[in-house]
């Protein structure tokens, strides 16, 4: 639907009609910047996102999408009509509406954390507070979020005339006709509440607890600011790399007496000044702590750039090549700034010397 100009116009017209109807009924307000045209978020826009915008935009224009699909089903061939009716059957099901609102609820809690963890200028303390808040919100949704979720689902189903199953009846797996359906031993309430809501929330909480356990959170807190007491905890976390703990205290006393360290603007300037004054050799533990702090603060952005490159390079042909060959090719994309400084003649001479060839490259 997004790839056809004609259908984009049809979707736009349906949205306008819905906005006019809602404004006349007094269900939405009018003001500058409100009620603007919406569309489904493109796949490329969610490459590093959480699909939260995709689901919210789908909720916003859900009614318009249904009307457009009904129009498309009338004007196309039988094959396209069948595909359209199949899609309508899925979109107009209680199961789809429930999963849509469930994902919007969960991703609404985790989206801020997802965005914060992908920023180049990482604010670690803010990210840690978001981790804690996200865990609490997900746990609260698990404990008390069922009634609010099911009420929203019921409301949208009644609005669009979608059949709502009896939650006390046994869950039936499959579609009509009934003779092809499989009746389970659990109720619809148990299926949607425990198998869907609780299972997804438990999975999210498990992943957050596994990735941000007490040790990891303490490590991030240590590198969040250059504080002696916090940095000494990193010595305990990495006992093999740090031996002489009092060195950190001696370093603080030393640099306070040195005017060269008086007007530094950040950790990067501090590292440069340590190398220039050769204090990095004297206070090598402090220098290691500083390097670890700087590396951790940009690790996420570097990983993001590398995986973006991998997605760009990978194709059906690349998937068949060996890992080593694939890694060699990725280097040229990841380290393009370095490779652009290398003269092509040097590369040609290198390949020419690798094997005796009958011709010159």
Distance (Å, rounded) from C-alpha 187 to C-alpha 296? 48
Confidence of residue 150 (pLDDT cuts 50, 70, 90): very high
pLDDT attached to residue 125: 67
Cα–Cα distances in Å, from 176 out to 179, 182, 239, 308?
8, 11, 64, 43
CA trace torsion 178, 184, 186, 188 (10° rounding): -30
The total of other beta-carbon atoms located within 10 Å of residue 48's CB is: 11
pLDDT attached to residue 5: 45
Query: Looking at 5-9, 342-346, 355-359, which range is the least confident one?
Result: 5-9
Q: Residue 180 above 90 pLDDT?
A: no
pLDDT attached to residue 47: 47
pLDDT digits (tens, 9 = 90+) for 51-102: 888 888 888 888 888 887 877 777 666 566 777 788 888 899 999 999 999 9
Q: Which residue has the higher pLDDT, 83 or 195?
A: 195
SS3 212: coil
Q: Where are the domains of the chain?
A: 5-167+182-216, 225-296, 314-361
The secondary element (H helix, E strand) that includes residue 187 is: strand 182-187
The most confident of the ranges 242-256, 306-320, 345-359 is 345-359
SS3 182: strand
Answer for the pair 55, 46: CB distance below 8 angstroms, yes or no.
no
pLDDT digits (tens, 9 = 90+) for 218-251: 666 655 555 555 555 666 666 666 555 566 667 7
Distance (Å, rounded) from C-alpha 293 to C-alpha 290? 5
Answer for the pair 191, 184: CB distance below 8 angstroms, yes or no.
yes
Answer for the pair 147, 325: CB distance below 8 angstroms, yes or no.
no
Mean predicted confidence (pLDDT) in 325-344: 76
pLDDT attached to residue 164: 92
Residue (of 38, 46, 36) closest to 2 by Cα position: 38
Confidence of residue 360 (pLDDT cuts 50, 70, 90): low
SS3 173: strand
Answer for the pair 139, 84: CB distance below 8 angstroms, yes or no.
no
pLDDT digits (tens, 9 = 90+) for 101-144: 999 999 988 888 887 777 655 566 677 788 888 999 999 999 99
pLDDT attached to residue 239: 63
Distance (Å, rounded) from C-alpha 73 to C-alpha 88? 10
Q: Residue 357 above 80 pLDDT?
A: no
The secondary element (H helix, E strand) that includes residue 218 is: helix 214-223
Distance (Å, rounded) from C-alpha 229 to C-alpha 289? 13
Sign of CA dihedral 200, 204, 206, 207: positive
Distance (Å, rounded) from C-alpha 212 to C-alpha 247? 30
Distance (Å, rounded) from C-alpha 92 to C-alpha 166? 17
Cα first-last separation, the chain: 50
Mean pLDDT of the chain: 73
């Amino acid at each position: 639907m997004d790839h056809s100009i004609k259908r984009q116009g049809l979707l736009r017209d349906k949205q306008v009609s819905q906005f006019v109807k809602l404004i006349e009924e007094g269900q939405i307000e009018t003001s500058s910047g409100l009620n603007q045209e919406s569309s489904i978020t493109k796949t490329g826009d969610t490459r590093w996102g959480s699909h939260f915008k995709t689901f919210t935009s789908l909720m916003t224009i859900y009614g318009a999408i249904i009307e457009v699909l009904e129009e498309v089903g009338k004007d196309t061939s039988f094959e396209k009509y069948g595909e359209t009716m199949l899609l309508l059957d899925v979109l107009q099901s209680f199961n789809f509406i429930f999963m849509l609102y469930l994902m919007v609820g969960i991703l609404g809690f985790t989206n801020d954390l997802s965005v914060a963890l992908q920023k180049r200028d990482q604010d670690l303390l803010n990210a840690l507070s978001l981790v804690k808040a996200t865990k609490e919100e997900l746990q609260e949704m698990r404990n008390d979020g069922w009634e609010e979720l099911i009420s929203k689902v019921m409301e949208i189903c009644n609005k669009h005339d979608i059949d709502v199953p009896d939650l006390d009846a046994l869950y039936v797996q499959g579609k009509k006709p009934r003779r092809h359906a499989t009746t389970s031993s659990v109720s619809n309430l148990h299926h949607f509440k425990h198998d869907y809501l609780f299972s997804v929330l438990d999975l999210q909480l498990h992943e957050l607890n596994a990735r941000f356990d007490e040790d990891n959170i303490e490590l991030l807190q240590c590198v969040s600011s250059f504080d002696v007491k916090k940095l000494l905890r990193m010595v305990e976390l990495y006992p093999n790399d740090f031996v002489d703990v009092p060195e950190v205290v001696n370093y603080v006393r030393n640099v306070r007496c040195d005017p060269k360290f008086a007007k530094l603007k950040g950790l990067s300037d501090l590292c440069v000044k340590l190398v220039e004054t050769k204090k990095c050799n004297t206070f090598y533990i402090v220098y290691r702590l500083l390097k670890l702090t700087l590396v951790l603060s940009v690790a996420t952005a570097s990983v993001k750039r590398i995986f973006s490159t991998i997605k760009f390079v990978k194709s059906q042909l690349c998937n068949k090549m060996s890992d080593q060959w694939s890694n060699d090719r990725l280097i040229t994309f990841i380290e393009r700034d370095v490779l652009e400084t290398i003269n092509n003649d040097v590369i040609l001479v290198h390949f020419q010397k690798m094997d005796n060839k009958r011709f010159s490259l």
